Amino acid sequence: MTSHVATNSNRSSVVVQKNNTPQRQPIDRSTVSRSPVSMVGKAATVGLARVSLPGGPAIHQPSSRAATDSLNESKDNFLGKYELLTELGQGSYGTVHLARLKTNPE
Amino acid sequence: MFAIKVYEKFKINSEPSKFRNIRKEINILTNLSHNNVVRLIEHTETLTKINLVLEYCGSTNISHYVKKKHPLPEEDIRSVLLQTLNAMEYLHSRNIVHRDLKGHNLLINRHKRVKLIDFGFAILTNKGRKLSSVCGTPNYMAPEVLKNEDYVGEPVDIWSFGVLAFYVSECNYPFKAQNVK
């Protein structure tokens, strides 16, 4: 059996693909808690509209609000209530931002 | 304060399994509530992104913390490890295996509160159920995972904890691997 190995460095999480089974690819965890590097707010670039995930089971959400309402919310950006501050980390699938509630600045 | 994890869909579109894993990550986090485990406040999805609003747990991870402060006072070593064990005990009591326990996935804040983050590899399992996905980080991986064998979940986390205990004390790894080969 051959294995395909995906890794960036010995510090990054890896996943090995066996028997052509679809496997997850890791977001680069080694960067997630990096010190803040910029103060650029990025709220304006995030999000167009809310849609449900294509296919698959619905996520049961007792405490965390799922946004599956409608497509006509292009202006109602969910992140609008959050103010994005610094970027905490970069991964292969996206980024982690420090944020706070706009209505409740600390 | 929050940490918002933003997944870019265009980077995931070629991998349907990644979508499933993000959904799994959300599902697992939604049902967790523990002082040493990151909390998911809410999540949402747009046409282009999946956003996870998470509790902010501090900007320092244990790996960097140890590098900066080595040698840690024994009291701090005990505290970090005990908090990690509390998180693990909580997860395992709910049949959840983290599968990527490591210094980089433990954040510490200025009150020295430690929180386990990143449930991208976590899985809901049953007692004794055999798993097969080779995942984790080479230096922290249990031998059975590295050898590509089927494995039971909890012992794999416990192995990683052993590596963590060594690392926190010595600022070094007991075993070193560049990759899983």
Helix (H) or strand (E) segment spanning residue B163: helix B153-170
CA atoms within 13 A on the CB side of B85: 8
At B161 the three-state DSSP class reads: helix
**A62 to chain B: which residues are within 8 Å by CB?**
30-31
Tokens of B157: 């986390």
> Does B109 reach chain A within 8 Å, measured CB to CB?
no
b or e along A58-68 (b: 16 or more beta carbons within 10 Å of the residue's beta carbon)?
A: ebebeebebbe
pLDDT bracket for residue B135 (50, 70, 90): confident
Q: What value of ipTM does the predicted structure carry?
A: 0.83
The mean pLDDT of chain B is 94
DSSP A38-98: -----GGGS---B-PPSSSPPPP-SSS----S-S--SS--GGGGEEEEEEEEE-SSEEEEE
Per-domain residue ranges for chain B? 2-55, 60-170
Distances (CA, A) of A10 to A1, A29, B99: 23, 12, 16
CA dihedral B96, B147, B22, B26 (to 10 degrees): 10
User: How many CB contacts within 8 angstroms connect chain A with chain B?
Assistant: 200
- As a whole-number percent, the residues of chain B with pLDDT over 70 amount to 98
For residue B62, the chain A residues in CB contact (below 8 A) are: none
Q: What percent of chain A has pLDDT over 70?
A: 25
Mean of pLDDT values over B64-74 = 97
Determine contact: B16 vs chain A, CB below 8 A. Answer: yes
CB contact under 8 A, A46 and B47: no
Lowest mean pLDDT among A3-12, B54-63, B84-93, B117-126: A3-12
Q: Does A81 touch chain B (CB under 8 A)?
A: no
pLDDT digits (tens, 9 = 90+) for A52-97: 344 444 444 444 444 444 333 443 456 778 888 999 988 778 899 9
pLDDT value at residue B5: 94
Superfamily of domain B60-170: Transferase(Phosphotransferase) domain 1 (1.10.510.10)
DSSP letters along B70-129, please?
PSPPHHHHHHHHHHHHHHHHHHHHTTEE-S--SGGGEEE-TT--EEE---TT-EE--TT-
> In 3-state terms, what secondary structure has residue B146?
helix
The answer to whether the CB atoms of A3 and B148 lie below 8 A apart is yes
Is the Cα torsion angle B85, B91, B95, B99 positive or negative in sign?
negative
Catalytic residues of B: 100
Please say if the pLDDT value at position B126 is more than 80. Answer: yes
- Contact of A59 with chain B, judged by CB distance below 8 Å, is answered with yes
Closest of A60, A101, A54 to residue A78, by C-alpha = A101
The reported pTM is 0.74
Query: Min CA distance, A91 vs chain B (Å)?
Result: 9
Chain B CB contacts of A49 below 8 Å? 46-47
Fold that domain B2-55 belongs to in CATH:
Phosphorylase Kinase; domain 1 (3.30.200)
For A34, the closest chain B residue by CA position comes to B59
The more confidently predicted of residues B51 and A103 is B51
Name residues whose C-beta falls within 8 Å of residue B145's C-beta, 6 or more positions apart in sequence: B134, B135, B136, B151, B156
Look at B45 and A68 and tell me if their CB atoms are within 8 Å.
yes
